[in-house]
Amino acid sequence: MHIPEFIPMMILPKTTLFPESLLPLHIFEHRYRRMLSDVMNSHRMFCVAMNYPWTSQEKPMPVAGLGLVRACVNRADGTSNLLLLGLERVRCLGAQRYKPYRLERVEVLRETGGESKSVPFRDQLKEMIEVRIAQGPKGGVPPSLPSMVLEAAQQGEAMGDAMSELGADLANSIQGVSELADYAASTFLNNALERQAVLESVDVATRLEKVTEFLAAEIERKN
């Protein structure tokens, strides 16, 4: 898939988009309605970046998620509901323009370090995921959904039912350590800055270390 150098960008508070995760979005602002129309008539891709939490201005965090529109429903009032599938981590290199919507120059980030040293920790992370699933929602809503939930939903299950039905089996089906870390972060970490820290970790071992630390704290809070 060809990824353009300049990509439309949404900047949202407390929002992260990981590779292979699904982010539900409601598009209602006029600038983003224009953006959605443009991307649907071209490559169907745009970025989602978390806004710096320490400023009231729109300022993207340095690493964002590049996504592909998998499903889009246009409403009679001009708004749209869509599912954005995460494709890549990208570094934000600056805006080419700001109107009618932000067009960002991006660089795709490739993983470093490999997975071989992290493989022994995969089972540990899977065990932690099983514990977290057993705890139930307890007021927490997953920021996004693993892409495999969409496949189950397309076979007739509601997304919530699909997530509950798959449970730990979904984690067990993920072989790569980096993909497992992304799944755990996007699905179970409710703290936006923790998710962003994982998103920015291109080194696989560092990403795994952060996820296990944050998930352990999340489990402790749910007890």
148-188 pLDDT, tens per residue? 555 544 444 444 444 444 555 677 778 788 999 999 999 88
Boundary (domain end) residue, out of 108, 134, 150 = 108
13 vs 117 pLDDT, higher one: 13
Ranges of beta strands (E only) in 75-209 are: 80-97, 103-108, 145-146
Q: Residue type at 90? A: V
> Domain ends where: 84, 108, 132?
108
* Parent domain of 103: 6-108
What kind and span of H or E run contains 67?
strand 63-74
**Domain total of the chain:** 2
**Does any domain span residue 113?**
no
44, two tokens:
């169907």
Same domain? For 207 and 129 the reply is yes
For residues 101 and 126, membership in a common domain is answered with: no
Determine, yes or no, domain membership for 1: no
Q: Is the pLDDT of residue 15 over 60?
A: yes
Q: Residue 101 domain-assigned? A: yes
pTM, to two decimals: 0.87
In a domain, 145, yes or no: yes
Last residue of a domain, one of 77, 108, 139: 108
Nearest to 213 by CA among 154, 127, 141, 125: 125
